[in-house]
Amino acid sequence: MRFAYADPPYPGHGEDYPEGEEVDHRELVERLVREFPDGWALSTSAEALQDVLALCPAGVRVCSWHRPVRYTRSRRPLSGWEPLIVFGGRELPTAQTQTIHDALLYRGRFRAFPGAIVGMKPPQVAVWMFCQLGACPGDELVDLYPGSGAIGEAWRRYAGVDGRHVADVDEPAARDMSRSTSTADLGERRDTSLAAAAGALAGMSAIGVSA
């Protein structure tokens, strides 16, 4: 299957990036719908969610990842989460109890990453996003806004490209709301069949869980 991920400058924040330009989200969503019928994911801000959702087709799902908050003065409560809009994707098997949740609680810190830029997503968030799409080794993921390259690197490890596996995406730094079991046995599985990949996805929700 062929999926896409888009993490553009959020509406109203184009000036935070070197290009200094706003992204036409209507055009972006139309492109996602047209070119990626298998499924896609789009990151945006909680503030812009209502406007971006109005541009999306019926059937999208809103997932959320909760991030550390930098305390500052504010007239409103500080925002501690970001939405991920997901369309389509591979259905997960119903023969086993589902362990993947549509919410991720991230409490880690970014590790040094060459080329880090504003808005770069942590590896655990990338893996969680892959799970929302039901992505498996052998699928294709198109990163429409590669920026720092962090999503591409996480995908290479998730998909087992170049002999690397999901288990070494990052140090334990996040707590997924879905489960807290070990994933040490995931790294060596490379079978691209749906059944084997679905089993790996079920365990993926525990990536980065602290002991």
* pTM, entire model: 0.71
Domains and CATH numbers, the chain: 2-204 (3.40.50)
Q: What is the pLDDT of residue 197?
A: 40
Per-residue pLDDT tens digits for 86-102: 999 999 888 888 888 89
Higher pLDDT, 55 or 173: 55
Percent of the chain surpassing pLDDT 90: 37
Per-residue pLDDT tens digits for 6-43: 999 887 554 544 555 788 999 999 999 999 999 999 99
Residue found by looking up tokens 């209502």 in the block? 50
